[in-house]
Amino acid sequence: MKKFSILSFSLIILLILLFVLVRPTQKIVSVYLASETTEITYTDRESLQIFEDAIRTVKKVRGSVDVGEPTYRMTVTYANSKVAGFSLYMDFKTKDGFLIKASNSEKMLDLRNKNSVELADLLSKEKED
């Protein structure tokens, strides 16, 4: 009986790990950014990959936040036609950034350093053009 319980528990843990590690990620088909002075739409695979990686790897920050106007309002459209809204806050000098999901405006989603730098570099190109 004990062996059965241990085996069952191990199987459940394995299935949970497989689900977490192998779960399909939604593909982004477009990202629309709007600020007071700029409107940008990204549809190229390279740019979309930067946004996918950034969104997929955010770190939820404990507590609630109260911040000012975002650098950009961001609308993400997925392949299944689902649309998600975010506020993107980016400091172009330090290349630090975070997101706030429109559906949960009190929770900050911190961008990982690598993703924040890639996103800042991508957006800086648009600011120069």
The reply to whether 1 falls in a domain is no
What CATH number did the domain enclosing 103 receive? 3.30.1490.410
| CA geometry: angle 101, 92, 70, nearest 5 deg | 30
Quick: pLDDT tens for 45-76. 999 999 999 999 999 888 777 788 999 999 99
Domain that holds residue 46: 25-128
Number of domains comprising the chain: 1
The reply to whether 63 falls in a domain is yes
pLDDT tier for residue 24 given thresholds of 50, 70 and 90: low
Task: Give the per-residue pLDDT at 96.
Answer: 93
Q: Once rounded to an integer, what is the mean pLDDT over residues 99-124?
A: 91
Buried b (16+ CB within 10 A) or exposed e, 105-127: eeebbbbeeebbebbbebbeeee
Contact in structure between 65 and 80 (CB atoms under 8 Å): no
The reply to whether 61 falls in a domain is yes
pTM beyond 0.85: the answer is no
In whole numbers, what is the pLDDT of the chain averaged over residues? 87
